[in-house]
Amino acid sequence: MSLNGKTAIVTGSTSGIGLGVARELARAGASVILNSFTDREEDHDLAREIGEEFGVTARYVSADMAKPDQCRALVETAGACDILVNNAGIQHVAAIEEFPVEKWDAIIAINLSSTFHTTAAALPLMRKAGWGRIINIASAHGLTASPYKGAYVAAKHGMVGFTKVTALETAREPITANAICPGYVLTPLVEDQIPDTMKEYDMSREEVIEQVMLERQPSKEFATVEELGGTAVFLCSDAAAQITGTTISVDGGWTAL
């Protein structure tokens, strides 16, 4: 399908899932806004490279998703927002009674509250344009839980709930809101964790992937950023016009257990 003439904002998109989604949207013809809080030269270079590769307009806009005013300013700076992909997120693992308060606050702010702020800023632009797609990158942990991930699980469950509310408030308009719920995805961050995990468990790479990382993923295969990007493109298509307020799991059967 073609997304020519559409502008997509993807938060947290200079690496991993966000970058994969941004690339697939650009491949489909959308102009893309990349985002992170770093504002490095290489961030701007990455946007230029995507623009050149796919023949679209691509820009980088720095904004800290932990700060409400910057979340909203990201959308305002973009100037248009036909497709909003809320992807920015962080993680911390600890037992509830030991969970650092500052980590809880940061995870809730970046993984959940930023979605509220960007959506609130984007909806008027979508309504003015007469079309919109809101895609929230939740997680299998938005539908189920794991110990020691209290803030992350709470945030992702909250994101799924907020997606449903957004869909209901826009149900009579040509705007949809859905959440993609990935399981384990092979990103550079995950790839970097494999050698240390091999040492920790005294296992081979294959054993670590199947028995540790993908223990709860029945397919025993990672999802890819390209697959997630393709799912996002589908949700922007005419075929998905009546898909709203729901979750799409890309988790190799994790949430079927």
Taking only the tens of pLDDT, the chain with its 257 residues reads 799 999 999 999 999 999 999 999 999 999 999 999 999 999 999 999 999 999 999 999 999 999 999 999 999 999 999 999 999 999 999 999 999 999 999 999 999 999 999 999 999 999 999 999 999 999 999 999 999 999 999 999 999 999 999 999 999 999 999 999 999 999 988 898 899 899 999 999 999 999 999 999 999 999 999 999 999 999 999 999 999 999 999 999 999 99
Residue 59 and residue 21: Cα distance in Å, rounded? 15
Describe the chain by its helix, strand, coil percentages, rounded to 5. 50, 15, 35
pTM over 0.95: yes
Span 217-254, pLDDT tens digits? 999 999 999 999 999 999 999 999 999 999 999 999 99
SS (H, E, C) 155-187: HHHHHHHHHHHHHHHCCCCCEEEEEEEECCECC
Return the structure tokens found at 69.
């005013």
**Is 17 a domain residue?**
yes
**Domain presence at residue 1:** no
Q: Are 61 and 126 part of one and the same domain?
A: yes
Helix (H, G, I), strand (E, B) or coil at 11: coil
State the total domains in the chain: 2
Do both 104 and 146 map to the same domain? yes
180 & 190 share domain: no
Question: From the centroid of its chain, how far is CA 26?
Answer: 16
- Per DSSP, the chain holds a count of helices (H) and strands (E) of 9, 7
Give CA–CA dist 113/123, Å, rounded.
16
Owner of token pair 């030991």:
98
Same domain, 142 and 131: yes
**Which class for 32: exposed (0-12), middle (13-18), buried (19 or more C-beta within 10 A)?**
buried
Tell me the CATH number at 33. Answer: 3.40.50.720
What is the model's pLDDT at position 6?
Answer: 98
- Report yes or no: 180 and 137 within 8 Å, Cβ to Cβ: yes
Inside any domain, residue 145? yes
- Domain assignment present for residue 48? The answer is yes
Same domain, 81 and 136: yes
Same domain, 121 and 196: no
Residue 210 in any domain: the answer is: yes
Read off the DSSP letter of residue 134: E
For residue 113, what are the domain limits?
7-184+223-256
- Active-site residue numbers? 152
Considering the domain architecture, whether residues 131 and 243 belong to the same structural domain is answered as: yes
Residue 2 lies in a domain: no
- The answer on 190 and 74 residing in a single domain is no
> Is there a single domain that holds both residue 210 and residue 101?
no
- pLDDT tens per residue, range 82-117: 999 999 999 999 999 999 999 999 999 999 999 999
142 lies in the same domain as 31: yes
Return the amino acid letter for 229.
Answer: G
49 domain residue, yes or no: yes
Cα–Cα distance, 79 to 233 (Å, whole number):
21
Indicate whether 34 belongs to any domain: yes
Alpha carbons 139 and 111: distance in angstroms, whole number = 11
At 192, list the tokens.
Answer: 């970097």
Same domain? For 215 and 232 the reply is: no
In this prediction, residue 141 carries a pLDDT of 97
Q: Does residue 128 sit in the same domain as residue 209?
A: no
Residue 30: count of CB within 10 angstroms of its CB: 26
Q: What is the largest CA-CA distance in the chain?
A: 57
